[in-house]
Structure 1
Amino acid sequence: MRSFSLLILSSVPSALSLCPPPGALLPPPAIKKNSFAIPDSTFESLPWLSDTTFAIKAQIGATNVFQYSHIAPGYHDPAIPLYGTKMRIGSVTKLYTVLAIKIAREKIGWEDHIGKFVPELARNAAYKDITISNLAGQTSGLGRFGYVGDLATIPGFQAAQFGIPVVNNTLPGCDPYPGGRPCTRKELLEMYNTDQYEPISPNSGPLYSNIAFILLGLALENVYGKKYEEVIKDLIFTPLKLTNSTFAVPNDTATTILPQKGDSWFVPDFANYNPTGGIWSTPDDMMTFMRALATHNLLPAIETRKWLQPHAVLPSVQQLVGAPWEIFRPTTTDVKFTRPIDMYTKAGGVKGYAGWGILVPEFDLVVTINAAGNSSNKAVQDLLPLIMNPVIAFADANAREQAKAKYAGTYTLPNSNDSITLAVDDGPGLAITAFSMGGVPVLRSLAALQGVPIDNFSARLYPTDPDSLGTGKETWTINLDTINTAAAFADLNCNSWNNGDPFRYMKERLDTLIFEIGKTAVSKSSVLSVNLVGWRTVLKKT
């Protein structure tokens, strides 16, 4: 008997940390009546207001919780709402390009090689390992630009001023900058097949590449037999009714923020660079687009979750690279339980215009920021924390308050001493504060099995099956924690993802609880009972 007990203990980590499993700590809040606000004074003293226009929108679920706009003097009629006004969104366009690839997943495989869709590259050994995933995830090894921005195309540039030997200019003179003569397909593909532009060491690390997305646009053209711009219109603009989103350069100053005399903004058609940054959109349209991603309007939830996964790491522990997501994990937001908050973002910026699309799935939060002006890039960077810090704190507080009202309490089996008590405290998830089955103090038994003193032991519930949330049966799991744990190298004591599903009895998981949801006199979505799967017992909420 002793050897059997030791065998069980040897298979279980001897110490766990207060470390939630990956994913949300609680279900996202449902905001029906908005009570969120940021004082106007937050935005009234920013240093670039005289030359930069901006608009912010934030939604939790389907509810608009915040919007704020500012029009730089002389750039737009103040009587016309800015939320329906066009601004270039720059590289936020890359999200539209990759979404179209995802929608076309039966035609374009994520791991297909680009040469399958661009035959001119198939004969070049440098592209034999370059996949759609590499291109979308910034790991193809391609450079940032092609001919665009080459110093030789800048009027008056003197190579000698930099100690560069003077070389005869043999560039074709196309695509030197937005608005220049667009390269023909032949000229464009010759560029990719030139030694100096070919990819190097794919998958060795991320390098932001605009020309990678031109190739994705060509892949879409190949499988649909039409121009990239028409593909985006058919797959995204039309289904989402984005009637104010376009690749065509607007010329109506009543409906577009355009440069004034003396401003040098990138307004001309992006042509070959449309898949990487050519969309004009409004704050309202961009919010509709980002909300469609959050609600899986055009892409199933399982595909969206796969799309959000990171592709590469960066020197900062708070940043990751996705396809083409820029994933931030700030730890300085004002949430009750301090932890990284996963923010899936895509920024865009060209001279004169900038945008940011942001998803925070944990709170079903979507934020958009649009700016136009001489300080547009600085503006969106300054505005990001001003909106994200307070709106995340608001969402976190509401999620906790609503979880307390819905799930916290004691669940019992009539005429027995079987019960479990759940609470929302200062920690993550739902705390199991008492748990007795058949007269056995279950928490004490679990602590002993883990080799953890009961006064340092914590068992907590998390909604690890997001697809079940909002249904009649919500699946949550128990994570076994310690309250205080010594610091460890590389946070090795935070290993919750490797400790799930620790115990089963006759096939059933002991860490799984299913809340049964139904109507009551108080609410249309109340917890009626909890099914302790491993114990084969249903306890009713008292």
Structure 2
Amino acid sequence: MKNQRYCPPPGFLLPPPTNVRPLPHISDFEHILRSYPWSKKTTIAIKASVGGKSVYEYAHRAGEEETGNMYDTKIRIASVTKLFTVLAVLLSKPQIGWEDLITKFVPGLEEEPYAEVTIGALAGQTSGLGRFGYVGDLALIPGFSPAQLGLPNVTHKLPGCDIYPGGEVCSKPQVLDMFNDPAYHPTSPNSGPLYSNIAYNLLGMALEHVHSKSYEQIIQELIFDPIGMKDSSYETPSKADGILPQSGDRWFAAPFSNFNPSGGIWSTPNDMLLFLEALQSHKLLSATQTRKWLQPSSLLPSLHQLVGAPWEIFRPTDVEVAVPRPIDLYTKAGGVAGYSSHAVLVPEYNIALTIHAAGDDATRAVQDLLPLVAKPLIAHVDEEVRAQVHHNYAGTYVSSDGMKRMILMVDDGPGLWVKNAVMNGVNILPILASMQSLSASNAFARMYPTNIDSKTSEKESWSMMLDREKEGSERGFAEQECGSWNWGDPARYAGQPLDRVVFLMREGRATGLGMVAWGTAANDILHREV
């Protein structure tokens, strides 16, 4: 990766694209697929869109040479279900608040152990609860010998329910008994994240309490029906509708029952893409609520991963884009024996991506497919974005009296390069640089779409930030020299920000611009030369 010379502000470098051309192909995709040991024995289905427009799809059934129509076939999405559970919680305001204690919604849950466990902590994997509860307990697995691990013989008997999908289902009192057992109590809530499935069981119970309906009916009414997800449910499909295990396969195709809020949904690639596009278009949540939901809630030891609720946020730096930088992928993975899925949003590029697999190596397949598909897809859309911005915004803007002029270009840096900015005959960039204790002799600036909510209006609001080129070795301890989030709105004149730029738009193209503090946004527009 090249040295990152620039320190752009948080947010998008350029506006999300519209009407992106389909990704023509992924180089050597078929050859690469055949190199993986799982390729012949794994069914896969991939779909991607940009701004709701399909740009890529690929499907292959295990054992078949030709790609098959997998896009309306049901596959278990496992823990991707957690996205639906959290979304249902967010759609249940004000009955359920993010900072409400879970004891408010689960009668019989002991107060003391859960006195600090909030809805947000459960959703963000910081509740302190363990992973599974009774599920997979070695003491209940037939044929397991405690001696092989040097374990003592069991001195008390577990109820024997909820130990695996399809087995005996715990009753509600038995579920409460488990959560109230000190062996399963949460530890150190709101410390580091620990992946917990039973945390989502509690969220499902909270939803049932406030809606007085089954969890499955709540998801149907709040999400499936409004979006039009007609092929998604918690019921195991028939062999005609879904990918199911063959004789001898040990896949988890049975109902998840109490674990439905954690991983019980069956869905199709088409339905899952519809779901992600509904999040992008704010069909159920507003833009502000969606952005808040996408915020990370916990850090991890890796510089490239963060934890959300329940987002698994990846920040790869090896994607071939024009401006090398971390690219934020908001993902949720799901996997049980025989099935694996990945749901991905890339807000900066308006990308929605779903990957599904079925087979003994489904989880490995999805992990391998994510970078194999996401990297060329993002690189393709990045090229489209820069071409669109060049067409829609770049050029020379001049006032009617010729005393104000700006030249904007798409170069190899972030945002729009402000090559020249003259207001009332004054070259303003060196003056602004001196005011910010920067070099006036080499003053350049860039424009960024910092108010992305204005994208669909006739007046788009951007911000102009002075360049502070920093080679990798000059960024200082913990990159303190790149504190760009602290550089916006540096000065005002008569109440108006000097960095605010307004583009006048017509049918998606800029026809003029105004610098707010200079009054040009109101009466003396700089018109774009054609």
* TM bracket, shorter-chain basis: over 0.9
* Match status 1:157 vs 2:144: yes
- AA partner of residue 130 (structure 1): V
TM-superposed deviation, 1:531: 1.4
- Paired residues of 2:430 and 2:441 also in contact (CA < 8 A): no
1:47 is matched with which residue: 8, 12, 37? 37
Correspondence 1:413 to 2:396: no
1:33 CA displacement: 4.1
Question: What pairs with 1:337-486 in structure 2 (closer than 5 Å)?
Answer: 337-454=323-440, 456-485=442-471, 486=474
Letter in 2 for 1:533: V
Letter in 2 for 1:502: P
* Aligned residues with identical type, % of pairs: 51
Q: Does structure 1 retain, via aligned residues, the 8 Å contact 2:74–2:267?
A: yes
Please list the CA deviations of residues 369-388 of structure 1 after superposition, one character each: whole Å capped at 9, or x if unmatched: 00000110000001001100
Per-residue CA deviation, residues 191-250 of structure 1 (Å, 9 max, x unaligned), is 001111011111111000000000000011011111100100111111111111010111
Of the structure 1 ranges 208-217 and 79-88, higher mean CA displacement relative to structure 2 is found in 79-88
Q: Which residue of 2 aligns with 1:493?
A: 481
State the Cα distance separating 1:255 from its structure 2 match.
1.6
Correspondence 1:314 to 2:300? yes
Residues 1:379 and 1:405: Cα distance change in structure 2 (over 3 Å): same
User: Per-residue displacement from partner, 1:426-467 (whole Å, max 9, x unpaired)?
Assistant: 000011110111211111112222232245443111001111
State the SS of the aligned residue for 1:170: coil
User: Which of 99, 103, 106 is matched with 2:87 structurally?
Assistant: 99
**Which amino acid is the alignment partner of residue 325 of structure 2?**
R
Write the letter of the residue equivalent to 2:421.
F
Q: After superposition, what is the alpha-carbon deviation per residue over 1:28-59, rounded to whole angstroms, capped at 9, x for unaligned?
A: 11125435322443434332122110000010
Q: Distance in 1 between matches of 2:369 and 2:67?
A: 23
The yes-or-no answer on 1:212 pairing with 2:199 is: yes
Aligned to 1:530: 513
Q: Distance in 1 between matches of 2:361 and 2:284?
A: 34
Partner of 2:126: 139
* Structure 1: gaps (5+ residues): 1-15, 519-523
CA–CA separation in structure 1 for the residues paired with 2:11 and 2:503: 18
2:77 matches 1:89: yes
Measure how far apart 1:478 and its partner are: 1.1
Aligned to 1:327: 313
Distance in 2 of aligned mates of 1:407 and 1:113:
49
The Cα shift of 1:417 comes to 2.1
- Is the 8 Å Cα contact of residues 407 and 527 (structure 1) preserved in structure 2? yes
Secondary structure in 2 aligned to 1:239? helix
- 2:151 alignment partner AA: I
Number of residue pairs aligned between Structure 1 and Structure 2: 518
Q: Which moved more, 1:47-56 or 1:348-357?
A: 47-56
Q: 1:124–1:193: 8 Å Cα contact kept in structure 2?
A: no
Equivalent residue of 1:493, what SS?
helix
Write the letter of the residue equivalent to 1:228.
Y
Deviates more, 1:407-416 or 1:340-349: 407-416
Query: In terms of mean alpha carbon deviation, does 473-482 or 448-457 score higher?
Result: 448-457
Q: CA deviation at 1:78?
A: 7.0
- 1:477-522 alpha-carbon deviations (Å, 9 max, x no partner): 012222235131001111011111101001000010010112xxxx
- Whole-Å separation in 2 of the counterparts to 1:169 and 1:263: 33
Q: Distance in 2 between matches of 1:202 and 1:222?
A: 23
Distance 2:416 2:476 in 1: 25
SS at match of 2:444: strand
Q: 1:169 to 1:51 in 2, by over 3 A?
A: farther
Q: Does 1:221 align with 2:208?
A: yes
Distance 1:347 1:440, change over 3 A: same
- In structure 2, how many angstroms separate the alpha carbons of the residues matched to 1:409 and 1:156? 74
Q: CA 1:455/1:70 → structure 2, altered by over 3 Å: closer, same or farther?
A: farther
Q: 2:497 aligns with which of 509, 514, 521?
A: 509
The C-alpha deviation readout for 1:243-269, integer Å capped at 9, x for no partner, is 11010111x212211111111000111
Q: Give the counterpart of 2:259 among 270, 273, 283.
A: 273
The equivalent residue for 2:287 is: 301
**C-alpha deviation, 1:126, in angstroms:** 1.2
Helix, strand or coil: the match of 1:259? coil
Gaps of 5+ in 2: none
Q: Distance in 1 between matches of 2:23 and 2:319?
A: 19
Matched with 2:221 is: 234
Moved more, 302-311 or 237-246: 237-246
Question: How far apart are the structure 2 equivalents of 1:316 and 1:253?
Answer: 41
- Distance in 2 separating the partners of 1:167 and 1:32: 61
> 2: distance between equivalents of 1:91 and 1:376?
14
| Contact 2:23/2:56, CA 8 A, preserved across alignment | no
2:50 is matched with 60
Q: Is the 8 A contact 2:493 2:517 kept in 1?
A: yes
Query: How far does residue 169 in structure 1 lie from its aligned partner after superposition?
Result: 3.9
Q: How far apart in 2 are the matches of 1:456 and 1:216?
A: 56
In structure 1, the partner of 2:269 is 283
Decide whether the 8 Å contact of 2:407 with 2:420 is kept in 1.
yes
Alpha-carbon distance in structure 2 between the residues aligned to 1:128 and 1:329: 34
What residue identity is the alignment partner of 2:218? V
Q: Which residue of 2 aligns with 1:6?
A: none
Partner Cα distance (1:242, 1:167) in 2 = 46
**TM-score when scaled to structure 2?**
0.95
Any idea what SS the aligned residue of 1:100 has? helix
Q: Residue 161 of structure 2 aligns with which residue?
A: 174
- Report deviation, 1:398: 0.7
Pick one of 227, 244, 249 that aligns with 2:236. Answer: 249
> Deviation string for 1:145-180 (max 9, x for gaps)?
100011101111111211112222410111011111
Match of 1:7 in 2: none
In structure 1, C-alpha distance between the alignment counterparts of 2:434 and 2:111, rounded to whole Å: 62
Deviation at 1:525, TM superposition (A): 2.3
Matched position secondary structure for 1:433: strand
Q: Distance in 1 between matches of 2:189 and 2:175?
A: 21
Q: For residues 461 and 78 of structure 1, what CA distance do their matches in structure 2 show?
A: 48
**CA distance in 1 between partners of 2:395 and 2:188 (Å):** 56
- CA distance in 2 between counterparts of 1:458 and 1:416 reads 21
Asked whether the 8 Å contact 2:17–2:385 carries over to 1, the reply is yes
* Structure 2 match to 1:186: 173
> How far apart are the structure 2 equivalents of 1:137 and 1:79?
38
